[in-house]
Amino acid sequence: MRLIESLKRKKFVLFNIFFTLYIGINLIGGERGLISYFDKKKIYEELLNKEIILSTQLEELEHKISLLKNNDFDYLDMLYREKFRYGTKDEIIIKLK
């Protein structure tokens, strides 16, 4: 009986304690909390790095396509020798990749 009466008197204090705990837990670990923020920031940086890599690969492919469209004989000869491993008898082929 005394416990119930004391809880009724300290209702406001208990409410403030629980409310503060609720806000503190959600601030740190909720969906919009600090931990989630740093995870999303890390994912964003990884995506930016991936975008840079993909854009450089796209530029390389566009350059190769333009060489093929313009019938660049040096590039076509290089492709021919690389794909079919073609060379004359007096040539020494050294693959650098």
pLDDT band (50, 70, 90) for residue 84? confident
pTM here is 0.58
The domain locations on the chain are 1-30, 41-86
Q: Which of 88, 90, 60 is nearest to 75 (CA)?
A: 60
Question: 3-state DSSP call for residue 70?
Answer: coil
What residue type is assigned to position 40 of the chain? K
CB 67 within 8 A of CB 75: yes
| pLDDT value for 40 | 94
CB within 8 Å of 39: residues ≥ 6 apart? none
pLDDT tens for residues 11-25?
888 889 999 999 888
CB within 8 Å of 75: residues ≥ 6 apart? 64, 67, 68
